[in-house]
């Protein structure tokens, strides 16, 4: 597996880090105003052996990051944070809904957890969802929802949001078996798939 951020769309890159036989994704957003990391994998070793080398390959040191957005506090998304902060102690940690830069903002995705957020990049009409869209789940992790009713509202809200034409997921969820969904029609189809796996 390559220890490099791979381009998903203009200014948005993904690093796939091994996690329990599947991957967990770390994203990098490059803007004129700075560089944002989205999630930070699971362990200190993930940061040292995967994230830092991948940043260096793109010409960045940890102190070059303006902020890290945590989509939620589950270990496979936020476990690397203490190590990352050792390398960049002044790094801003963002866990709430807010504008980041012109055209880029965090995005409410409650359902999987109470405080689940994503990142919307209006430049490319791309929503990074973390675990905010579950499909049928992945591997031994089936569709897990702390707030199923809120999740259904999240699905409706994204479908109604014409800014979202692409989805970047943190894992290759079933039934799609991919971690990227491109095109408005495919996004709507995926959202409606998600709703079929909700048990209330």
Give me the mean pLDDT over the 185-196 stretch.
98
Q: Does residue 78 have a cis peptide bond before it, meaning omega lies within 30 degrees of 0?
A: no
DSSP helix/strand/coil, 157: helix
Number of H helices, E strands in the chain: 6, 14
pLDDT per residue as tens digits for the range 40-76: 999 999 999 999 999 999 999 999 999 999 999 999 9
The model's pLDDT over 135-183, given as tens digits with 9 standing for 90+, comes to 999 998 999 999 999 999 999 999 999 999 999 999 999 999 999 999 9
pLDDT band for 79, please (50, 70, 90 cuts): very high
Superfamily of domain 6-196: Ribonuclease Z/Hydroxyacylglutathione hydrolase-like (3.60.15.10)
pTM, full prediction:
0.97
Q: What does the pLDDT average to over 177-197?
A: 98
How confident is the model over 115-140, as pLDDT tens digits? Answer: 999 999 999 999 999 999 999 999 98
Alpha helices in the chain (DSSP H): 44-46, 52-57, 75-78, 81-87, 148-160, 184-196
Q: Which residue has the tokens 């997921």?
A: 169
Domain spans of the chain, in order of start = 6-196
Span 103-113, average pLDDT: 97
């Amino acid at each position: 597996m390559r220890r490099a951020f791979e381009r998903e769309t203009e200014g948005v890159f993904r690093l796939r880090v091994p996690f329990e036989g599947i991957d967990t994704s770390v994203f990098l957003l490059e803007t004129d105003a700075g560089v944002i990391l989205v999630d930070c994998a699971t362990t200190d070793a993930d940061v040292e052996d995967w994230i830092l080398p991948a940043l260096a390959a793109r010409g960045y040191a940890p102190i070059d990051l303006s902020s890290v957005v945590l989509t939620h506090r589950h270990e496979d998304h936020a476990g690397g944070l203490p190590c990352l902060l050792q390398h960049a102690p002044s790094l801003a940690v963002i866990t709430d809904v807010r504008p980041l830069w012109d055209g880029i903002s965090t995005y409410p995705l409650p359902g999987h957890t109470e405080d689940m957020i994503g990142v919307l990049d209006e430049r490319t009409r791309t929503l990074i969802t973390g675990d905010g869209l579950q499909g049928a789940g992945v591997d031994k992790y089936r569709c897990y929802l702390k707030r199923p009713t809120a999740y259904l509202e999240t699905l409706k809200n994204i479908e109604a949001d014409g800014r979202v034409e692409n989805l970047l997921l943190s894992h290759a969820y079933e039934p799609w078996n991919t971690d990227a969904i491109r095109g408005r029609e495919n996004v709507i189809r995926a959202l409606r798939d998600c709703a079929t796996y909700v048990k209330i």
